[in-house]
Structure 1
């Protein structure tokens, strides 16, 4: 028994997952990134997208705000530019606003959720790493009915000032549910449950255009213009109740010291009239996420915010005053969002 304990301690000191004993341990880096109209708002934004992928070197990338057009060459162009830098990716795009890049071949690319107007805000794909099957989902939920603005005295549909800030949770959630976000999460969960039953690892990421309920509890109700409200936002609560883990909150559970704001980013290269939606409110929130379903062969090792350390707050770009871990881009930042990079240990055959 003593020898076994010494072996386990040695493995932990070496940074290896004990669950990978007898299996191969593979590092898996997952990047989630909103591209802000495909990098088209910031000068050389496309170059900034390529630079941050090159800098962070992820294995899987969830992209959203690709231009929704048939046969858009953007993914192929990204692949070509990254190949020039020695990075080979497969890439898939379903003529919608989201896509996936992967160092591993992507197959079975579909959307498990379609709206009446034929919009499909989820891109699903499968990949295999050394015999281990993964199912990944890139999502971009509805940006309208963004009703975390209501406590901040703004409409989340017109983005104009309202008569008074919302002072009760029910009215906010009723307005928020006019979006299709919760229906999309329900469809994703139903589809992913079948993948989990087959033993596949499930990871998803994207721009939810809705905060997390973990960030709107009693400890933050009097901060960031929450107006005293505790709100269990639907999308995150549904995923949480289904057993999914919010990668950022798993390692940094305190939303006061580690708010992890992903929007709006304090992007000094961006036109201020495009970057700012409200001038007199603190509308900072974490609306971009990476989630995963617990699996004995998947261990979260690290997570960080990717992007400029500055925030846009009350109409001004200000220094970030919290303890969040950051990966600062070396080149131009292409987006009004910040991204998320999660690093996992994957046990494979």
Structure 2
């Protein structure tokens, strides 16, 4: 079974116990409604993988019900028990009863959202956050000579300061400041803290000297602020921690090749190479916690200048069984907790 249930097993002569659990971050592109059979595919994949926690991005609560509540009901029909927290723009699922929940950064005018749940498993409290950050003023598009909201061609910024000036117009930094402030309370309470989300922003670990002339970075080395703020606050980027080699393991999660969608319907910058890693799972160090595996969940292909390409990298993929419901790829992280 690919989905690792929370297992409590004896390990070692000292009677040490080990908990294994998985976290899935998944941008589902407005509940998969853009893709025929998309919603059903989301349910089927979660039932297959059985992640312990799911952080959703880009949900819209269609059909008169909250997306996460509807997912929980659909999973119950398949014999899978999950608990949900409020969903709009982003959302959360937990295999464990929810003790507490909070809106950390409320969605308003497409400027993003952050929600939090606290679950208790085997006496250990975990705070799980989900984020879908502001998609307006996407400065990494401007670097490629395209306006981030209308996709019109513009002059390419020549300096990093120009890029960061555009980046400052979004509310992504504001949202992450709210997260860091709330997460400090969890850390002080002794909780394990996890964050998953589509940040709509690249990582400062990816736009470096080795990649400055790749992927239409136009020679720029950019200290992208959201991931840098999380790094400074002590949070660890699971994918980059497990795969530090940026060239062999770029880990692109966007844009995913989806054979059910004509490329002309994918309106992002058709003349540029906008492949990015913008979907993340972060965690804070916790006694006995170890990251044991991370995979890209979704198709191996991407969209490059409006063409479908198969990535020739060392990235490890967990391929879907059937319909792929979104234009993103997900991230599935496996953790081990020894105590």
Q: TM-score range by the shorter chain?
A: over 0.9
Structure 2: state its 5+ residue gaps: 1-8
Q: Distance in 2 between matches of 1:309 and 1:117?
A: 33
Structure 1: state its 5+ residue gaps: 1-14
The aligned runs of 1:197-236 (5 Å cut-off) are 197-236=188-227
Q: Distance in 2 between matches of 1:152 and 1:120?
A: 23
Matched, 1:248 2:239: yes
> Which residue of structure 1 aligns with residue 183 of structure 2?
192
Matched, 1:144 2:136: yes
Q: Is the 8 A contact 1:264 1:337 kept in 2?
A: yes
> Which residue of structure 2 aligns with residue 295 of structure 1?
286
Q: Distance in 2 between matches of 1:281 and 1:155?
A: 12
Matched, 1:180 2:162: no
- 61, 65, 71: which one aligns with 2:58: 65
- 82, 107, 131: which one aligns with 2:123: 131
> Which residue of structure 2 aligns with residue 107 of structure 1?
99
Matched, 1:74 2:67: yes
> Which residue of structure 1 aligns with residue 33 of structure 2?
40
- 292, 301, 322: which one aligns with 1:331: 322
Q: Distance in 1 between matches of 2:68 and 2:141?
A: 33
Q: Is the 8 A contact 1:42 1:271 kept in 2?
A: no
Runs of 4+ in 1 over 3 A off after TM superposition: 15-18, 20-23, 68-71, 114-120
Q: 1:220 to 1:328 in 2, by over 3 A?
A: same
Question: SS of the counterpart of 1:291?
Answer: strand
Q: Is the 8 A contact 1:267 1:335 kept in 2?
A: yes
- Range that drifts further, 63-72 or 122-131: 63-72
> Which residue of structure 2 aligns with residue 4 of structure 1?
none
User: Alignment RMSD, CA only?
Assistant: 2.1
Instruction: Provide TM-score, normalisation by structure 1.
Output: 0.90
Any idea what the Cα deviations from partners look like across 1:151-187, whole Å, max 9, x if unmatched? 211112322100x321210000111110000011011
> Which residue of structure 1 aligns with residue 4 of structure 2?
none
Q: CA deviation at 1:291?
A: 0.1
Q: CA deviation at 1:74?
A: 2.4
Q: Is the 8 A contact 1:209 1:287 kept in 2?
A: yes
In proportion to residue count, which structure has more helix?
1
Matched, 1:155 2:147: yes
In proportion to residue count, which structure has more strand?
2
User: Rg larger in 1 or in 2?
Assistant: 1
1 or 2 for the larger relative contact order (CA 8 Å, sep ≥6)?
Answer: 1
